[in-house]
Amino acid sequence: MKKIISLFCILITIGCENEIKAPNFIFILSDDQGWNGTSIQMSKSEKLSKSDFYETPNIEKLANSGMVFSRAYSPGPTCSPTRYAIQYGQTPARLKHIRVKMNVDHIDHSEMITIPKMLKKVNKKYKAAHFGKFGMYSDPSNYGYDKSDGMTGNIDGNIDGDLKTEWQPQFSDDPKHIFGITERSIAFIDNQVKQNNPFFLQVSHYAVHSDLVSRESIFNKYFKKKSGKYHENPSIAAMTEDLDLSVGKILEKVKELGIDNNTYVIYMSDNGAVEQILGSKKRNKKNKGYNYPLRHGKGTLYEGGIRVPFIISGPKIKPGSTSSIPISGVDLLPTIQDIVSNKVELFENLDGGSFKENLFSNQNAIINRNNNFLVFHLPFRRGSFNPHSAIIQDNFKLIKFLNTNKKVLFDLSNDTNEKNDISNLNHEKTTELEKMLDDYLKKVGAPKWKKGINWRPYERTLEDFNSFY
């Protein structure tokens, strides 16, 4: 608690140092959208890092006006752990929130710093809003949001929530509430500009998570379109197009109000796409799923589960620029803090670091974090996947399977698909990364895998794990 109070004092001090024009932040978070889930080529060296079927012209405009990060990671391979991690700048392992629908009584929502709370400490005029899927099982006001849709989850974005029909095409004039979310977001922007308030707006779409809901006319467009080699589902393509349309409407509003020279727009996904879309003709082709050339997908710590699209535009960011430095959603809090205060303090419990230098001056600057690596933790069985943790340092990635102690090591600089396990050829690096991973999990007291803890049932308390590093 003393450390938390000290952080607040630091932030208050920072806010008094200089009078600066407070920038606005619009954070658009898609759901279950893979690294190649847009028409943006996320990596210049990988032609398959963009969709061969989906159309996203507005997201392309965003990328052309800002920076694309080719190695951006969600903090977790599923929704709510990622959403918590983004707000707090801490890993799901440290937060001890590593699965969906997990009880959160152990998290001190009232005292812990979040992005909105940090901004308000820097400048009390900041207003914050969240529209769409929250997925964090506590009222958004506890995180510093002044306006929101409430404690929403997947069910609030679906038509009927019937698991038997979630992969079947369904139609709506407002699929996944994309347009309603957009309208509320635009109204909030309008209101804050009129009141001369700087703002943080998080637009969290239910798309492109199942249910597969789309406008019938857009579905028919893609139903008639020639399928791509890897992407072919017309429902997902239609949802993606409407998601893109929402981005376009928000960008238009920002320009219309004349705040584009003082507004940062950030776009990312909460995790990778589902590896195989049920009903898809190509679903049984090995390693040729919807995330290809990345391996596997949502719910795993392979690249397909955690590498995601990430784009940011705004003042001082060179249009059409790229960066290949690994970043994570946990880096957003310190980066935003660094932008608004011209100073960032790395407190002990922060896992993220600021990538402001990458945005403004040196695209490939090394990010300064308390730990010079990224950690991911999934201590339970999910489907056919055994419990596993992962660590990324530079181009090396180690995955450790917790029930067998098996380790695999990949060099991501030349093996994006994670085909070639080099652990037997590089024992020293394998041992080094394993120790870093184990030491970190022990330091933060992460939940530890034990027999019987699986993906379902969803409702889990921290006590269910009953074992910690």
Are β-strands 388-393 and 374-378 bridged in parallel, bridged antiparallel, or unpaired? Answer: antiparallel
Report the pLDDT value the prediction gives residue 382, as an integer from 0 to 100. Answer: 83
pLDDT of residue 103: 87
pLDDT in tens, 367-385: 999 999 999 999 988 888 8
pLDDT of 453: 78
Amino acid letter, residue 39: S
Give me the pLDDT at residue 345, please: 66
Q: Where are the domains of the chain?
A: 2-360, 374-465
Average pLDDT over residues 321-327: 97
- DSSP letter (8 states) at residue 330: G
pLDDT at 457: 67
Whole-number percent of the chain with pLDDT over 90? 80
Q: How confident is the model at residue 425 (pLDDT cuts 50, 70, 90)?
A: very high
CB-count burial class (<10 Å; 0-12, 13-18, 19+) for 218: buried
Helix/strand/coil percent split, the chain, to 5: 35, 15, 50
| Phi and psi, residue 464, nearest 5° | -60, -35
User: Would you state the pLDDT for residue 282?
Assistant: 56
Specify the long-range contacts of residues 255-263, CB closer than 8 Å, at least 24 apart. Answer: 257/189, 257/190, 257/193, 259/24, 259/189, 259/193, 261/315, 262/21, 262/23, 262/24, 262/315, 263/23, 263/24, 263/25, 263/26, 263/314, 263/315
Q: Could you tell me the pTM of the whole model? A: 0.94
Model confidence band, residue 337 (pLDDT cutoffs 50, 70, 90)? very high
Q: Report the DSSP beta bridge partners of residue 448.
A: none
Looking at CATH, the fold of the domain delimited by 374-465 is given as Arylsulfatase, C-terminal domain (3.30.1120)
The C-alpha atoms of residue 390 and residue 388 are separated, in whole angstroms, by 7
**Is the CB of residue 234 less than 8 Å from the CB of residue 222?**
yes
What does DSSP assign to residue 116? H
pLDDT at 460 over 80: no
For residue 403, name the pLDDT band (cuts at 50, 70, 90). very high
Chain segment 184-210, per-residue pLDDT in tens = 999 999 999 999 999 999 999 999 999
Q: CATH number of the domain at 2-360, out of 3.10.450.50, 3.30.210.10, 3.50.50.60, 3.40.720.10?
A: 3.40.720.10
**Tens digit of each residue's pLDDT (9 = 90 or more) over 59-78:** 999 999 999 999 999 999 99
Instruction: Give the pLDDT confidence score for residue 445 in this predicted structure.
Output: 95
Report, in angstroms and rounded to the nearest whole number, the Rg of the chain calculated over CA atoms.
21
- CA dist 206 and 307 (Å) reads 19
